[in-house]
Structure formats: C-alpha cells, structure tokens
Amino acid sequence: MCSTPPKPVDLTHHFSKTSKSRTPNALKQYYKYLFTPGMCNLSGGLPHTSIFPFGELNLTVDQPTKFPITEEDVLDQNFTSDSTIKCHIPRHSDKSLAQKIDLATALQYGSAQGYTPLHTVLRRWVSVQHPGIPYEGGPEVIIDSGSADGLSKVFDLLFDTWDQSLDNLRNREALLVEDFVYGPPVALARTKNVHIVPITMDVEGILVHGAGSLSETLETWDEKRGKRPHVLYTIPRKAIYDVCSKYDVIVVEDDPYWNLYYPSARSYSAQYRGAADDIPTQLPKGQQSGYRFLDDMEPSFIKFDRDGRVIRLDSFSKTIAPGCRLGWITASPNVIGQLFRITDDTTQQPSGFVQAIVAKLIGETCDPTQAASSWGFDGWVRWLEGLRAAYERRMVKMATVFEQNRSLTKGSERVTMFDFQWPLGGMFVWVEVKIDSHPFAKMIDHRKLMRALWIHCTQPPYLILTVLGKDFAATDGIASSRGYLFFRFCFAAIEESLLEAKSKCFTDACRDFWAICYPERIEQLLCHEDRKGAGN
C-alpha cells in the first residue's frame, strides 16, 4: 500500500515583510476572461498584434549531436558536427494556448509566470529531471531573466533590509554559505545588511558535522548576534538537507553546472596519484528519469525535498547562451505564488523572442516523417550530454598539464609549487599555490608573494589572467587567512586548441617565479602593478 506524500510545509513565516505586503495586480484579474471564446477585449492596454513589425522568425540551429560524446566519436572521421536544422516561428499559430508558439503571443504582454508554452515545457522538464518529488502535488515553476534575476527576487522574498541605526541586532537576518562562494550572491545579500555566515567545507562541499559545520553553527547559534540563519545558499547533498529540515532552514540551490559532471576525474587522479582518497568513490545515482545521462547525475536537493523547503535556480546561460538572460525557479506553490507577485511588480516576464525560441527548440516534439525543426527533450538531453563531454575533454587537457608540471626538482629535492584536485564537475580548476615552498617564503609576506606571482602570470611571455581565490571568500577573514593562496582557472573561455599551451604558460610562470634569485624582483613586480593602477 502506497503512503500519501506529505503536504509541503508552510514557509510564510520566512517571507520578508516587504514581500508579504505585495498585493496582486488588479488589472491582471481580467486576463482569465480573455480566453472565453468570442470575448471582445476593451479592457487592458494591450497593443494590437497587427502593429508588431515582425512577420516571422527563421533560425538556423546546430544539431543536438554537434559534440561527440565518446573517444570513438572523436576519432571517427565520419562524425560530422556542422549540420544544422531550421526552426520557424510564424506570426500566428492556431494551436492551443499551451502550444501556441508564435510572435503574436510571444511579443504581447503576458503573465508574470512567463510565456505559457515555455512554462508548460519547463513544468514537463522538471518532472523529467526530478521525478518522484516527495511532497504532495510537487513543485511549481516561474520563469525569470536568468539566475541573477531569480536570486534577487528570492532574496527579496526572504530578507528584509536591516538598518544598524534603527533596528535591534537580534532582528538582523543571516545567510549561510560555503566559506568559498560565488561573490555576487553574497554582495546582493549585503545590500540588505544580511549577516553572512560561512560554513566550513570539505572536498565534497559544506561540512555537515564537526567543528565549523552546518549542524554546529545552527545548534550553537547565539541570537544576540541576530536571528538564527534561515536561508542556506549552496549546491546539493542529502545530509545537508536533513540538518536544514531539523532547524527550519530554507535551501536556495543554485547549481549552474548541474549537467557538467566528469566521471573520468577519479580515474585520472588515481592514474597520477594512486588511490584517490580525496574524491568520492562514485557519483550518487539518481532518479529513473528515462534518460541514462540524467539518472547518472548527482540528484538535486529537490529529490530529497519532503518539506517543500527547496528553492532551485536554473538558467540557460551555461547550456545555451548567457545572452539569452533566461532561467526558471522551481519551488513549492506557496513560494512560487509569492515570487509571482514580486515579478508582477518588477520585471514581468523575460524577452518574448528568447522565450519563444527556447520553447520552440526544446519543447516541440519532432515529427519523424518530416525534416527536424526542433530538438525536443530527446535532442535537448543529447545536447547536454555532448556539452558535458566537450567540457570534460577540456578539463582533462588543463588538469593533465597541471598534473605533470606542478613540481620542480631542486638538487635532490622535489618541490611542489602548487596542488589541485581533479574537478568532478563545472568549468574550473582550483589551484592551491604552495607559496611556503618558495625560496623567499621566510623573507617576504606570503600575501605579497602571491600577488607578485599573479602579476608575473599576466606579463610576457605568459600573458594569462586568472581569478584570485580571495575574491570567492565569504568573509574578509577567510580571504586574509587562506583565500589568498588559491587561483581559479576556467577551461571553458578560450579555444580548445590553445588550452594546453596556455595551461603550460601558468606552470612555466610558476617555475620561473620559483627561480627568481633576488627579492628586489618581487618588489619590481608589485611596483609595476601599482604604477599600472595609478595610470588608470
């Protein structure tokens, strides 16, 4: 006998006062009557579609099979990656509202939930990507203009601005984050004077138990510092969810690289280093979506969300193109309803052109008897799998160069200049510089040495730009204590043909930096940067 799924918990007590004060747009109450057959619209200020200066939209789109998946595909001389399909979006369509992909509806005012055909597609996609969501009724979705827009609305939903000169410290709200975190969400929270609370990380992410862990932070929270944190911004792991459920914390899941996981990372690490104790032995198996590629991925927090306390942010920025400025939020209906009001009062829905294009591309099922005019879900999943394979090949190229050149021989001694872990996913390799092994480590402040190394990398003949790890530190204290030791390298941004050579530029820069004989050279590098900054 199957048990009835629990109802999602009521999260209204987490909503900000500002959010609760929002009321529905009075004019939108008339929209539902527009779908009555024969109804004449003399109500709202909708321009007539005949004045739109666009007749139709014709697009040339890559085949979803553009990127080879296996090494056999890469070596296959008959494998083609330059074929395309033609997508056509007419001015008018006579299909039902949920399937009506045309310019007349896409370019008209619409609901804050987003363009109806795309909203329908994304609801179906969520049920495929996250099957078996464990609360009654499952989640709802709302379309946004990318994850930055979505997160801004989520923070408006959850946080009131705290004013140090007016408000009691006990009423200051807090956001839990990993101690190294993408900077913009933290900066956004700080505009509301939210207290940023970093949680210690291990190799898999947030530490759940132990010193500095999520559970210890919540259990020992002193409310004299402000309200106990009620929001966690992170990527998924089941043990984290259990702690959040216990302490009534909302989980904001923002995982833009969800489809970029690299099964080969562990085997490469083992090949070069022996036992890969620092990498999990296997990726968690998922969800029986109907697609092996999706089933093999690490499950979202939504998979564990028995309470309905997860707010997941997704976007097409990494899977189609950042300039689309298009994404969606998945959460319980109660949360989506409140986000609807925020959206209705602010941005409305994203560009109709982009919504129509994406709805056409991934939402329409291809007729096998006719030439393909869209991808459909099958093509979309194949595209995602091809992207994963393309980025994995890039990752292997960069990481292999780093692996083979991270140490140098000095007499009979082997000196490690930097270390890293083979990434299990994403677009980046994080390098920890072993600056204490530099010849001047006992003479010159380590932060100065690290700054000089970064400047050294930007100069000829190396000419490489990387991001300082301190810029991802959740607090200034973390940046100062250990964040400065890291560089983050992106293997996605340049031509693949340049990747190995440019990765070697970094290892050459390190080797030459370790060979500097005079401390005056370090000062020259730092002064050069000071002069450059003064000239801007």
Residue 175 is predicted with a pLDDT of: 96
User: What Cα–Cα distance (Å) separates residue 529 from each residue in 52, 126, 207, 502?
Assistant: 53, 49, 38, 22
Residue 283 is predicted with a pLDDT of: 45
Band (487; pLDDT cuts 50, 70, 90): very high
What is the tens place of the pLDDT at every residue in 102-150?
999 999 998 899 999 999 999 999 999 999 899 999 999 999 999 999 9
358 and 411 part of one domain: no
* Any domain includes 270: yes
305 and 232 part of one domain: yes
* Any domain includes 221: yes
410 and 346 part of one domain: no
Q: Are 46 and 109 in contact (CB under 8 A)?
A: yes
pTM of the entire predicted model: 0.92
Helical H segments across 191-263, by residue range: 214-219, 238-246
302 and 442 part of one domain: no
* Any domain includes 177: yes
Among 25-29, 276-280, 418-422, the range with the most confident prediction by mean pLDDT is 418-422
219 and 326 part of one domain: yes
User: What Cα–Cα distance (Å) separates residue 272 from each residue in 90, 275, 406?
Assistant: 55, 9, 12
| Phi and psi torsions of 115, nearest 5° | -60, 125
145 and 220 part of one domain: yes
Band (29; pLDDT cuts 50, 70, 90): confident
**252, burial (CB in 10 Å: exposed 0-12, middle 13-18, buried 19+):** buried
d(CA 91, CA 108): 12
What is the tens place of the pLDDT at every residue in 254-308?
989 999 999 899 899 999 988 554 444 444 455 577 899 999 888 899 999 999 9
**301, burial (CB in 10 Å: exposed 0-12, middle 13-18, buried 19+):** buried
Buried b (16+ CB within 10 A) or exposed e, 397-410: bbbbbbbebbbbee
What is the tens place of the pLDDT at every residue in 36-62?
888 888 887 889 999 999 999 999 999
Per-position DSSP letters for 92-118, written without gaps between them: ---S-GGG--SHHHHTS---TT--HHH
Query: Percent of the chain beyond pLDDT 90?
Result: 76
Helix axes 183-190, 147-158, angle to 10 degrees: 40
d(CA 320, CA 42): 39
d(CA 422, CA 521): 33
- Between residues 312 and 277, which one has the greater pLDDT? 312
CA 333 to chain centre: 23
Is 60 exceeded by the pLDDT of residue 86?
Answer: yes
258 and 370 part of one domain: yes
Q: Which helix (H) or strand (E) holds 188?
A: helix 183-190
* Any domain includes 120: yes
CA gyration radius, the chain: 26
Per-position DSSP letters for 473-511, written without gaps between them: BSSHHHHHHTGGGEEEEESSSS-HHHHHHHHHHHHHHHH
422 and 459 part of one domain: yes
d(CA 331, CA 309): 8
Residue 368 is predicted with a pLDDT of: 56
Is 60 exceeded by the pLDDT of residue 536?
Answer: no
CATH number of the domain enclosing 461:
3.90.1150
Residue 277 is predicted with a pLDDT of: 45
* Any domain includes 9: no
Task: Assign 30 to helix, strand or coil.
Answer: helix
Per-position DSSP letters for 303-316, written without gaps between them: GG-SSS-EEEEEES
Q: Are 159 and 231 in contact (CB under 8 A)?
A: yes
* Any domain includes 127: yes
Tokens of 279: 């990498």
Buried b (16+ CB within 10 A) or exposed e, 423-445: bbbbbbbbbebbbebbebeeebe
From 350, 385, 420, the end of a domain falls on 385
* Lowest mean pLDDT across 15-29, 87-101, 449-463: 15-29
CATH number of the domain enclosing 374:
3.40.640.10
Q: Are 290 and 129 in contact (CB under 8 A)?
A: no
* Any domain includes 410: yes
Band (434; pLDDT cuts 50, 70, 90): very high
d(CA 116, CA 122): 10
Query: Domain limits at 145?
Result: 51-385
HEC-encoded secondary structure of 454-478:
HHHHHCCCCCCCCEEHHHHECCHHH
From 385, 417, 444, the end of a domain falls on 385
379 and 463 part of one domain: no
From 385, 414, 432, the end of a domain falls on 385
Overall domain count for the chain: 2
264 and 171 part of one domain: yes
| Contacting residues for 118 by C-beta, under 8 A, at least 6 apart | 143, 355, 356, 358, 359, 363
Provide the mean pLDDT of the chain.
Answer: 91
Q: Are 525 and 455 in contact (CB under 8 A)?
A: yes
Tokens of 365: 């099922």
Residue 371 is predicted with a pLDDT of: 60
* Any domain includes 184: yes
251 and 298 part of one domain: yes
Rounded to 5°, the CA angle 493-418-476 comes to: 75
Q: Which helix (H) or strand (E) holds 124?
A: helix 116-129
d(CA 132, CA 130): 7
445 and 375 part of one domain: no
What is the tens place of the pLDDT at every residue in 167-197?
999 999 999 999 999 999 999 999 999 999 9
Q: Which helix (H) or strand (E) holds 292?
A: helix 292-295
